Amino acid sequence: MQKTPAWTETDFSQTAAEATSARMMGLYALLANDRKVYRYGEGVIQTRMKEHLKSSEHTRTTKRFTYFKLEDKGDAELIEHLLLLQYKQQNNGQLPPGNRITA
């Protein structure tokens, strides 16, 4: 039986990004001030965190960054998709604010 990976939570900051392994792939969530999920994503954790830190929208609404390591990109994409589906089911069909596409 496979264990569910444990989430690691840290500040949403440049210092925290630098302290994260430069090659670690995984799944992450940006958490808003009220600790609700603002955005789900996947990729190289440090790279994605640094990219999100460049966004004034993300830095204004996000205080915490939580993630877990996954070796396989396909697994990360699948779990991200499942978390987004679960979020939509629990929130009247809405995606997390940071995952919504606006034109």
User: How far apart, in whole angstroms, are the C-alpha atoms of residue 14 and residue 46?
Assistant: 10
3-state secondary structure the chain: CCCCCCCEEEECCHHHHHHCCCCCEEEEEEEECCCCEEEEEEEEHHHHHHHHHCCHHHHHHEEEEEEEECCCHHHHHHHHHHHHHHHHHHCCCCCCHHHCCCC
Range of the domain at 53: 8-93
**102 occurs within a structural domain:** no
pLDDT recorded at residue 53: 95
The answer, yes or no, to whether residue 44 has pLDDT greater than 60, is: yes
- Its pTM stands at 0.89
Mean pLDDT of 31-44: 94
Our count of domains for the chain comes to 1
The CATH number given to whatever domain includes residue 46 is 3.40.1440.10
**13 occurs within a structural domain:** yes
